[in-house]
């Protein structure tokens, strides 16, 4: 897969050598990045006047499995090159949900076992944390704080839990609350464990994200909690993103999938933070017996 930090420049550099259809997409991407990142595929195809399969082929041309992967990488690349963009070009939650599903499900299941020691816990927003919320629907009763509206919808019928939202301003793209009100309310909390995500996790530079507001909120979550567990799939074990959240010394446990490289594994094992790996390998399809 193409590194997220270079895709912006690659599309620009490739423009003259692309086919006519791909050039139409490239021009749209560079001229209206907000629409490209946030519009449904059907709408994009109509606006650019190409087919939906052509959009998918464009993404695969740059090494991505599909449009969601490309749009996430493009949004991160754009934010890294333009600090102001990080406040306005938040990737679609649906795109995040579509990427690395098996790994995120495995990570969530591994993290769910850690909640057995918690009476109160805090769930960050994000697609991997939604999978953790799914795992908690049948867990013993706990007090669960969350900034995610989707987490509340997942857990709303789990009557054994007490659900709390800290308030704040709606981030519609992320279906989550944030801002100063949420941070101020979290400052009054005393939570056993915060389960949070990140756009980047690096053994030397710690956690980071492309959104400044999200970085502030994550730091408030960390300050309010006695234990911090970070859930990230292995594609996020990379160079720092734009806004620093915390150093790795502030994190107790990292839960990621088993697809990380040997070098990455050694680098994180050398720190004081506990590394837990979830097996993201899909089970083999049973061979049918010959009659």
Q: What is the pLDDT of residue 283?
A: 44
pLDDT at 88 over 60: no
SS3 87: helix
Q: What is the pLDDT of residue 235?
A: 83
Q: What is the pLDDT of residue 288?
A: 41
Domains observed in the chain: 7-98 (1.10.10.10), 101-278 (3.40.50.1360)
Q: What is the CA radius of gyration of the chain?
A: 20
Q: What is the mean pLDDT of residues 13-32?
A: 92
Helix axes 52-61, 67-81, angle to 10 degrees: 60
pLDDT bucket at 289, cuts 50 / 70 / 90: very low
Cα separation, 207 vs 55, whole angstroms: 32
Q: What is the pLDDT of residue 37?
A: 84
pLDDT bucket at 237, cuts 50 / 70 / 90: confident
Q: What is the pLDDT of residue 70?
A: 85
Q: What is the pLDDT of residue 164?
A: 96
> DSSP assignment of 28-56, as one string?
HHHH-HHHHHHS-HHHHHHHHTS-HHHHH
Q: Which among 1-10, 99-108, 197-206, 280-289 has the top mean pLDDT?
A: 197-206
pLDDT at 28 over 70: yes
1 C-beta neighbours (distance < 10 Å), count: 12
Tell which wins on pLDDT, 37 or 23: 23
Condensed to tens digits (0 to 9), the pLDDT of residues 36-81 reads 888 888 999 999 999 999 999 999 999 888 888 888 778 777 766 6
Percentage of the chain exceeding pLDDT 70: 87
Q: What is the pLDDT of residue 97?
A: 57
For residue 49 the two structure tokens come to 């006047």
pLDDT bucket at 1, cuts 50 / 70 / 90: very low
pLDDT at 84 over 60: no
pLDDT bucket at 123, cuts 50 / 70 / 90: very high
Q: What is the pLDDT of residue 46?
A: 94
Which of 32, 143, 111, 121 lies closest to 78, judged by CA?
32
pLDDT at 2 over 50: no
pLDDT at 174 over 90: no
Tell which wins on pLDDT, 283 or 255: 255
Condensed to tens digits (0 to 9), the pLDDT of residues 130-168 reads 999 999 999 999 999 999 999 999 999 999 999 999 999
Q: What is the pLDDT of residue 138?
A: 95
For the CA atoms of 69, 5, 242, 25, the dihedral, rounded to the nearest 10 degrees, stands at: -60
Condensed to tens digits (0 to 9), the pLDDT of residues 175-221 reads 899 999 999 999 999 999 999 999 889 999 999 987 888 899 999 99
Predicted model pTM: 0.76
Which of 76, 88, 57 lies closest to 7, judged by CA?
76
């Amino acid at each position: 897969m193409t590194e997220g930090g270079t895709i912006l420049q690659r599309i620009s550099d490739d423009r003259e050598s692309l086919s006519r259809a791909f050039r139409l997409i490239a021009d749209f991407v560079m001229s209206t990045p907000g629409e490209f990142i946030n519009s449904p595929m059907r709408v994009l195809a109509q606006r650019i006047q190409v087919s939906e399969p052509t959009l998918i082929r464009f993404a695969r041309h740059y090494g991505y499995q599909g449009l969601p992967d490309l749009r996430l990488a493009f949004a991160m690349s754009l934010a890294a090159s333009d600090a102001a963009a990080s406040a306005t070009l938040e990737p679609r939650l649906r795109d995040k949900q579509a990427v690395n599903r098996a790994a995120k499900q495995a990570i969530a299941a591994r993290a769910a076992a850690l909640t057995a020691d918690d009476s109160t816990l805090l769930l960050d927003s994000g697609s991997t944390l939604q999978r953790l919320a799914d795992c908690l629907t049948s867990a013993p009763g706990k007090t669960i704080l969350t900034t995610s509206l989707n987490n509340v919808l997942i857990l709303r019928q789990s009557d054994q839990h007490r659900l709390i939202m800290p308030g704040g301003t709606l981030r519609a793209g992320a279906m989550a609350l944030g801002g100063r009100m949420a941070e101020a309310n979290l400052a009054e909390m005393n939570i056993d464990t915060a389960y949070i995500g990140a756009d980047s996790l690096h053994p030397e530079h710690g956690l980071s994200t492309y959104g400044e507001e999200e970085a502030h909120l994550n730091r408030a979550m960390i300050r309010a909690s006695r234990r911090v567990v970070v859930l990230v799939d292995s594609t996020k074990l990379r160079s720092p993103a734009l806004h620093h959240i915390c150093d790795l010394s502030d994190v107790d446990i990292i839960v990621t999938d088993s697809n990380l490289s040997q070098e990455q594994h050694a680098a994180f094992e050398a720190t004081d933070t506990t590394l837990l790996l979830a097996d993201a390998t899909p089970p083999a399809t049973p061979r049918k017996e010959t009659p």
